[in-house]
Structure 1
């Protein structure tokens, strides 16, 4: 049996170890008890959330103004009640982004939750990288498509000119023989370049990123983080109904598809209503079906075709270049898939993507 003094000494040593951990950790952490009072915090939390010793013992609500996350109190209560970990991404007032984990503090001897430990992991670089990556993807896709397709028109005109040259009289042909030969060689060279670019763009080129088994939930989460500012500012809600959650596809391209559809849904929702975006997925007879629906301004039936054309836009005052849906269709049709739209003016739109998928039953 330990003496009382030995027990006190052991507790002091344990407390000293705990204090050393608090002092040296680089992760902001808050310790909140079941009465929602702030009991302890790590030094990084003091710096990030402007905390001081005066906050100890006071309601956590007194420091929530440092977060752009109004439901934190409700989330803490939910974790205390359920005993389950909750993870969310939040933005602080200095525009930094954090992965916030609310972890129940469980007293094992009593099997009760006596509060929570809240940790914050800085994910700002990840979100910035995702945004930059999405811009590069759009620029890359547009450049390749422009080179591989738009240049076909002048090549066609080039070929017609050569045919006309060949129909000239014998005397004229002798004079232009060398010129026509050079033109024809140039045409063949240009056509070869276009064919190679087209193959790179749409088929299994050796430098193309391979398809892989993707988690739809994880890709949606990546896109949600990329569009976090827009989602927050518009108070947008993403609803998921995923009956089939995996598909074999190029990660970068499928993320671009989701990004453009969700981004458009937010942009084309009137300012007087909060965007509500529903994403559903299902398997149907060897195909994967994904639908992204919104409560936006809607699209006229007469515009169904034009919205998928390059620079096709239905609302000029909305920011953008009009290439998002064009790229989405290019990506989907390049692998033999289909995309369609149904819409009602003033009520919203629904984009349906159908892809062949061996994993779908």
Structure 2
């Protein structure tokens, strides 16, 4: 090493000859005092043109107007440095994407004497990143388009299948009833044959319910894609309407209904709200415990940002494992009552499609409590 060169001069030579990064220094006010070859190559200003200028000229015009250069100086001084990836401007007005590091300089006594600025041009890297992002977005849009097409095909298939199955299922049901009458008239309807006929009729009924549920799932999916009409619902009126339906002969076992509607109105799709409440109340009645009186409590209250509907019963209850599978399509846990296991799946879909959520707490032999959270700001 040439001892005639001082440490300061070597540092100066080193900084001067770096060409891939713009390195310059400013005084405490941001006035450029040192300018290397890399700064000239990247920024377009010669040393003579740059020195004495406020470093803010290297920022886009809108950044200068917003006072961004001064904010950088203040942030660097306050935090020890300022680092970012952002747009910077060349002498000819063109912009490039850069990594910037602004660092305050202090003398041996700790006095602030200026700033150093290191800028790297990473426009090519940004262009590659943007192209990759565009490709990923294009691939995502293509995938979404394919999924929408698949969903549409599935909806059409379900609709066609359910429509085409209705007629033969109805014919089978009618033929079985006719067969039962013919057997009875021929004195051939003994206990064995009657049981077989009833099992066939029962299977046909379950198939009919499944077809109806598949149709309902298709409707629910279409409703989620369309803007379903939202209106102000009177909770008490909907409840009374449901109760009148459940009180129809043969539809309800004896249950004591207790209500506490602290929130009387709700902004939601009336059709969907009725379906949600009907499913929860009818399930509470359906799965009551035979050894004790059935009590169903229905409650609403405000819990920002939600209106909460609670339906609590003292029925059979569910195990933790059953609760984990509760909202699965066609999942049933009790066989002593009719059902296809589609109701709660649909309830969850309707609630979540509207930005809400549903929770359940249950214990075997004690009962279950469902909490439905409707957005209060719809």
Instruction: Say yes or no: TM over 0.5.
Output: no
- Specify the structure having the higher radius of gyration (Cα): 2
What's the TM-score, normalizing by structure 1? 0.44
